[in-house]
Amino acid sequence: MPVQEGKDPCVKERLQAILLLLDEKTAIEVSSILRHNEKTIRRWAKARNEKKYEGSKPWKGQKKKLRISEEEWRKIGRMAIDKKITLKEVYVYIWDKY
């Protein structure tokens, strides 16, 4: 069940941190109240200042760029099947080529 807009507990916690900072508490005090690292509190405040409400939402991260493309994996798989090579030989092939 998806979390409704404005009901996300992560956003709520980050907004609490911002409110405590606006109440003139230090990042160290806020970190002890919310039980998060001081650097985390500072990062939340910076994101909030730069991106407004969007900065309070959790970051989903970036997708990793694959070292070997899907097409290359298919070629390696076909080669392994056609030549009937072992998994260890596939490993050595990939290690040497990439």
2-57 pLDDT, tens per residue? 445 557 777 888 889 999 999 999 999 999 999 999 999 998 888 888 887 676 66
Q: What is the sign of the dihedral through the CA atoms of 4, 7, 13 and 14?
A: positive
Q: How many helices (H) and strands (E) does the chain have?
A: 5, 0
Reduced 3-state DSSP string for 2-48: CCCCCCCHHHHHHHHHHHHHHCCCCHHHHHHHHCCCHHHHHHHHHHH
Q: Residue 94: is its pLDDT beyond 90?
A: no
Global pTM reads 0.50
d(CA 27, CA 35): 11
Contacts of 80 (CB under 8 A, 6+ apart): 89, 90
- Residue 1, SS3 per DSSP: coil
